[in-house]
A and B are shown apart, each in its own frame.
Chain A
């Protein structure tokens, strides 16, 4: 079974703090994704990585950056957390190739609250 794990289920941070969300997958997938999910809006793509050190912006990259130093690990960084970044953050991975072709496997999510 594919396993995607995220470092925290719940996180509370203060405005202005630097926040790291970690995601690890154990299936040697090339593609990894970070989404945020807000009530009534559905999932929105923040960043996508198709290889180590490679990344592409998604629909809402502002205020976020990412890091992929190893194939199995994809980190989402909030450089200076703000209250409008309070959300559920979901990581996903999929096999290589066209990202839209293969099934994505999601982690359990991190509920981040910025106060």
Chain B
């Protein structure tokens, strides 16, 4: 059972528009939640990382929110640009008391921005 579910699976928006990507997780307890951006054919790059006590974090036009009670996170992209076209991956980490915590990866939302 995938413990991190992302929606939508894919999304197309016009340049300049805003959008919101969703992440629901069942991992509990968790250490932190991250959003990564992955361009086609490249490795993921971190956008934000939030601990369970944080409920919002911004990185330029990207704003992530976290509701630890409902186990939901969202990534809001403002004034989209063509370069925002990528896969956005939600990752939840869980400290299980060993050096190797545990990372649960969502399957990503594929965002396409059209001119």
**Residues on A facing B (Cβ under 8 Å):** 4, 31, 40-45, 48, 50, 56, 90, 92, 97-101, 103-109, 111
Whether A103 lies near B31 (C-beta < 8 A) is no
Whether B89 lies near A42 (C-beta < 8 A) is yes
Judge if B34 is at the interface, Cβ distance under 8 Å.
yes
A-B interface contact total, Cβ < 8 Å = 62
Cβ contact of A42, chosen from B41, B95, B105, cutoff 8 A: B105
Cβ contact of B100, chosen from A90, A99, A111, cutoff 8 A: A99
Chain B nearest Cβ from A53, distance in angstroms:
14
Whether A101 lies near B89 (C-beta < 8 A) is no
Query: Contacts A40-B107, A41-B107, A43-B89: A99 and B43 contacting too (C-beta < 8 A)?
Result: no
Chain B nearest Cβ from A97, distance in angstroms:
8
Instruction: Among A4, A40, A42, A106, find the residue whose CB has the most chain B CB atoms closer than 10 A.
Output: A42
Chain B nearest Cβ from A56, distance in angstroms:
5
Chain B residue with minimal CB distance to A101? B31
Query: Contacts A42-B89, A43-B89: A100 and B103 contacting too (C-beta < 8 A)?
Result: yes
Contacts of B103 on A, CB cut-off 8 Å? 45, 99-100, 104
Whether A103 lies near B42 (C-beta < 8 A) is no
Instruction: Among B42, B99, B108, find the residue whose CB has the most chain A CB atoms closer than 10 A.
Output: B99
Whether B102 lies near A100 (C-beta < 8 A) is yes
Judge if B22 is at the interface, Cβ distance under 8 Å.
no
Complex Cα gap A40–B108 (Å): 8
Cβ contact of A106, chosen from B32, B44, B101, cutoff 8 A: B44
Chain B nearest Cβ from A35, distance in angstroms:
8
Whether B101 lies near A101 (C-beta < 8 A) is yes
Whether A98 lies near B31 (C-beta < 8 A) is yes
Cβ contact of B99, chosen from A40, A41, A45, A99, cutoff 8 A: A99
Judge if B68 is at the interface, Cβ distance under 8 Å.
no
